[in-house]
């Protein structure tokens, strides 16, 4: 039976005690704990007498947000920002007063979170502009997005009281923006819950159908999993594997639905609903465990994935495989170390995780994250690029990040086995520019897996790509704009031609001006003249004429001849 989202009005004192138990499990410094309590008292005082649409005291919401952050073992300033994230928007407290009360760092996190909060769902342009603000805020301080994701998760947990149309809009936005963000940041638990909560309101019929089917054979599956776990534990003990833990793992409803759609199969045909997770101390033990499992269970072809050797872009590492037991039971196996498991569950939050007696620097942490996450480097590049026209167009900016950063990726290799991640649908041209823009501009061809391929070849996972170039000539072509996938590469190609066109306009003008001077012609070329004389060449303005002259597509003497003819005709007409 489905759990109720809102069972009863929650007790503030009880859930605050729960929060402090969570926080005390990893923060013991009494001075820091006093600061956190002080932040809570400020939030409590400012939200006094305020109610949420659920009927609960408003303060319940920031406490729940702080609990989600504490579950990620967030550092103290992030926790305090979680408790205070609504005070600037929903109370009379000013930024300066907040800064005085809790310090500049926390006040800035709250202020930036506040800027992301008010989304007007019936105004598409306003919504896009707010999404743009969120991406800009994330590039500046990733803690802002951790607070915002926690805020969104609790709002989704209490969404049931909203109007149906509002529920749908919020759920669709959550699935399109917040779920990919949580995925990119490696926040698996938050991502899975956001997916299921969104799916419940977007497609309730399928959600409840899959939920029912899962529960129908729940006991049977649990018995099968326990039998497998018991057998593997025995095998590991016999093989002297130390300090391991094995647990069953259930897949979330939305991930099952996605598999059904992608594979075009029914629920009954999804064979890897059973899953176990094995946690060990060392990387070597991961591969030893895999060997033991393969010796006792039959691995399925093409199902093995080594994310330890090649981590996912969100730093996720694990060995994955699907195997078959002797009684015909199929199940998925994940094997990883404890450190990998922490990153798998908490993602980038594990890097912001609090450790006693450690000095925290926002700048150092942001730099550390940027070094580890290539997509985060790309986000910073997009948001910091001073001549990036995307800033002026919110729609293009958001589309660029959705298409280049939040989309599904493929992983490809250079001949030197360097790994590159590109958006799904990328071409060899995209790849060339991702290596370096100078390689993209000089690209003449591509070899994939030892075979020559056309430039528009769509990259696949595992492709080994070699780019051919001519170091003496720029081979970039305007037609590539219709081939490439990423906004980043399109921008580079456009930038090249804009820069080149400026030079060509300058050169073409100098050539024509010199000829006009030599022929002693004083004439201003206007649009009517161009339409009448260069219609076949598709010349529509003076700059296009200059470029055609500089490129030697139009002979300058032809222009002089046409000007002379025009002037002669004009003279004859005037005599009449």
Q: Is residue 85 part of a domain?
A: yes
CA 523 to CA 569: how far, in whole Å?
Answer: 14
Q: Which two tokens stand for residue 485?
A: 């996938």
Q: Which two tokens stand for residue 346?
A: 């908490």
pLDDT, mean of residues 315-339: 90
pLDDT, mean of residues 81-106: 94
Q: Is residue 368 part of a domain?
A: no
Whether residues 268 and 337 share a domain: the answer is yes
Q: Is residue 193 part of a domain?
A: no
pLDDT band for position 357 (cuts 50, 70, 90)? low
| 202 or 551: which leads in pLDDT | 202
pLDDT, tens digit, for every residue of 518-544? Answer: 888 888 888 888 888 887 777 878 888
Looking at 167, 187, 207, which one is the last position of a domain? 187
What is the extent of the structural domain holding 330?
216-346
| 206 or 568: which leads in pLDDT | 206
Whether residues 438 and 314 share a domain: the answer is no
Looking at 434, 456, 485, which one is the last position of a domain? 485
Give the pLDDT score at 466. 95
Whether residues 35 and 152 share a domain: the answer is yes
Give the CATH number for residue 454. 3.10.20.30
Give the rounded distance of the alpha carbon of 19 from its chain centre.
30
| 478 or 283: which leads in pLDDT | 283
Give the pLDDT score at 139. 60
CA 484 to CA 455: how far, in whole Å?
Answer: 9
Whether residues 182 and 255 share a domain: the answer is no
| 324 or 474: which leads in pLDDT | 324
- Please give the angle made by the CA atoms of 197, 83 and 107, to the nearest 5 degrees: 120
CA 195 to CA 519: how far, in whole Å?
Answer: 73
Whether residues 143 and 80 share a domain: the answer is yes
CA 462 to CA 417: how far, in whole Å?
Answer: 10
pLDDT, mean of residues 397-421: 72
CB 354 within 8 A of CB 27: yes
Q: Is residue 141 part of a domain?
A: yes
Residue of 192, 82, 178 whose CA lies nearest to 134: 178
Give the pLDDT score at 206. 93
| 82 or 184: which leads in pLDDT | 82
Q: Which residues contact 180 (CB under 8 A, 6 or more apart)?
A: 402, 406, 407
Catalytic residue among 90, 97, 172, 399: 90
CA dihedral defined by 259, 265, 269, 273, rounded to 10 degrees? 10
CA 453 to CA 435: how far, in whole Å?
Answer: 18
Give the pLDDT score at 497. 78
Looking at 309, 329, 346, which one is the last position of a domain? 346
User: Looking at the DSSP assignment, which residues form a beta bridge with residue 420?
Assistant: 412
Whether residues 534 and 566 share a domain: the answer is yes
3-class state of residue 359 by DSSP: coil
Give the pLDDT score at 144. 87
Kindly report which listed range (92-106, 252-266, 340-354) carries the lowest average pLDDT score. 340-354
Whether residues 448 and 537 share a domain: the answer is no
Give the CATH number for residue 137. 1.10.3210.10
Whether residues 116 and 226 share a domain: the answer is no
Kindly report which listed range (227-231, 268-272, 476-480) carries the lowest average pLDDT score. 268-272
Residue of 444, 452, 410 whose CA lies nearest to 313: 410
Residue 545 reports pLDDT greater than 50: yes
Residue 165 reports pLDDT greater than 60: yes
Query: Is 151 an annotated catalytic residue?
Result: no
Q: Is residue 342 part of a domain?
A: yes
- Residue carrying structure tokens 């007063």: 97
Give the pLDDT score at 462. 81
Give the pLDDT score at 486. 84
Q: Is residue 164 part of a domain?
A: yes
pLDDT, mean of residues 454-481: 87
Kindly report which listed range (75-79, 129-133, 354-358, 484-488) carries the lowest average pLDDT score. 129-133
Whether residues 420 and 530 share a domain: the answer is no
Share of the chain above pLDDT 70, in %: 83
Separation in Å, CA 263 to CA 91, 175, 302, 391, 461: 50, 21, 15, 39, 18
Residue 280 reports pLDDT greater than 70: yes
pLDDT, mean of residues 50-63: 90
Residue 22 reports pLDDT greater than 70: yes
pTM of the shown model: 0.69
Whether residues 480 and 545 share a domain: the answer is no
Kindly report which listed range (268-272, 389-393, 445-449, 549-553) carries the lowest average pLDDT score. 389-393
Q: Is residue 132 part of a domain?
A: yes
DSSP characters for 6-26?
A: --SPPPHHHHHHHHHHHHHTT
pLDDT band for position 122 (cuts 50, 70, 90)? very low
Say if residue 472 is exposed, middle or buried (CB neighbours under 10 Å; 0-12, 13-18, 19+).
Answer: exposed
Give the CATH number for residue 297. 3.30.460.10
Residue 125 reports pLDDT greater than 50: no
Query: Is 89 an annotated catalytic residue?
Result: yes
pLDDT, tens digit, for every residue of 4-13? Answer: 444 455 788 8
CA 137 to CA 125: how far, in whole Å?
Answer: 18
Q: Is residue 370 part of a domain?
A: no
User: Looking at the DSSP assignment, which residues form a beta bridge with residue 246?
Assistant: 278
Overall residue count recorded for the chain in this entry = 576
Report the number of distinct structural domains present in the chain. 4
Catalytic residue among 71, 89, 129, 500: 89
pLDDT, tens digit, for every residue of 168-198? Answer: 999 998 998 888 888 888 888 999 999 999 9
Say if residue 248 is exposed, middle or buried (CB neighbours under 10 Å; 0-12, 13-18, 19+).
Answer: middle
Whether residues 430 and 341 share a domain: the answer is no
Whether residues 470 and 501 share a domain: the answer is no
């Amino acid at each position: 039976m489905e759990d109720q989202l809102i069972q009863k009005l929650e007790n503030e004192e009880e859930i605050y005690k729960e929060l402090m138990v969570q926080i005390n499990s990893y923060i013991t410094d009494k001075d820091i704990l006093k600061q956190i309590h002080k932040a809570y008292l400020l939030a409590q005082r400012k939200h006094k007498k305020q109610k949420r649409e659920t009927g609960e005291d408003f303060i319940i919401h920031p406490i729940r947000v702080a609990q989600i952050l504490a579950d990620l073992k967030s550092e103290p300033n992030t926790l305090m920002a979680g408790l205070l994230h609504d005070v600037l928007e929903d109370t009379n407290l000013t930024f300066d007063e907040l800064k005085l009360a809790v310090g500049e760092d926390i006040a800035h996190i709250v202020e930036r979170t506040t800027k992301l909060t008010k989304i007007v769902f019936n105004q598409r342009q306003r919504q896009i502009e707010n999404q743009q603000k969120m991406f800009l805020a994330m590039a500046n301080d990733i803690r802002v997005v951790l607070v915002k994701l926690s805020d969104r998760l609790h709002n989704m947990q209490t969404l049931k009281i909203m109007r149906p149309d509002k529920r749908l809009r919020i759920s669709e936005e959550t699935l399109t923006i917040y779920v990919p963000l949580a995925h990119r940041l490696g926040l698996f638990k938050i991502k899975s819950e956001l997916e299921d909560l969104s799916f419940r309101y977007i497609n309730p019929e399928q959600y409840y159908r899959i939920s029912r089917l899962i529960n129908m054979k729940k006991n049977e599956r649990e018995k099968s999993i326990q039998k497998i776990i018991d057998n593997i534990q025995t095998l590991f003990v016999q093989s002297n594997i130390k300090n391991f833990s094995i647990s069953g793992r259930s897949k979330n409803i939305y991930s099952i639905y996605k598999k059904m759609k992608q594979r075009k199969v029914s629920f009954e045909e999804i064979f890897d609903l059973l899953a176990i997770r094995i946690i060990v101390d060392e990387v070597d033990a991961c591969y030893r465990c895999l060997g033991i499992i393969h010796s006792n269970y039959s691995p399925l072809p093409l199902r093995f994935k080594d994310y330890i050797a090649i981590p996912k872009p969100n730093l996720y590492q694990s060995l994955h495989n699907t195997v078959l037991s002797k009684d015909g039971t199929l199940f998925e196996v994940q094997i990883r170390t404890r450190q990998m498991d922490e990153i798998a569950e908490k993602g980038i939050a594990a890097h912001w995780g609090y450790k006693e007696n450690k000095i925290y620097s926002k700048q150092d942490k942001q730099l550390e994250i940027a070094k580890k996450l290539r997509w985060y480097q790309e986000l910073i590049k997009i948001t910091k690029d001073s001549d990036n026209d995307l800033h002026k167009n919110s729609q293009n900016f958001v589309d660029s990040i959705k298409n280049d950063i939040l989309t599904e990726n493929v992983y490809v290799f250079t001949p030197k086995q360097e790994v590159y991640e590109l958006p799904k649908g990328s071409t060899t041209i995209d790849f060339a520019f991702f290596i370096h823009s100078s390689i993209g501009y000089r690209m003449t061809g591509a070899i994939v897996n030892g075979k020559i391929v056309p430039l528009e070849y769509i990259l696949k996972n595992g492709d080994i790509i070699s780019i051919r170039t001519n170091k003496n000539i720029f081979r970039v072509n305007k037609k590539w704009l219709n081939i490439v996938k990423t906004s980043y590469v399109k921008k580079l190609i456009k930038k090249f031609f804009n820069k080149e066109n400026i030079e060509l306009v300058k050169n073409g003008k100098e050539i024509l001006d010199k000829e006009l001077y030599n022929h002693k012609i004083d004439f201003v070329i206007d649009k009517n003249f161009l339409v009448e004389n260069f219609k076949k060449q598709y010349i529509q303005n003076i700059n296009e004429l200059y470029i055609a002259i500089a490129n030697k597509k139009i002979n300058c003497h032809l222009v002089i001849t046409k000007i002379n003819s025009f002037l002669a005709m004009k003279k004859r007409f005037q005599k009449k």
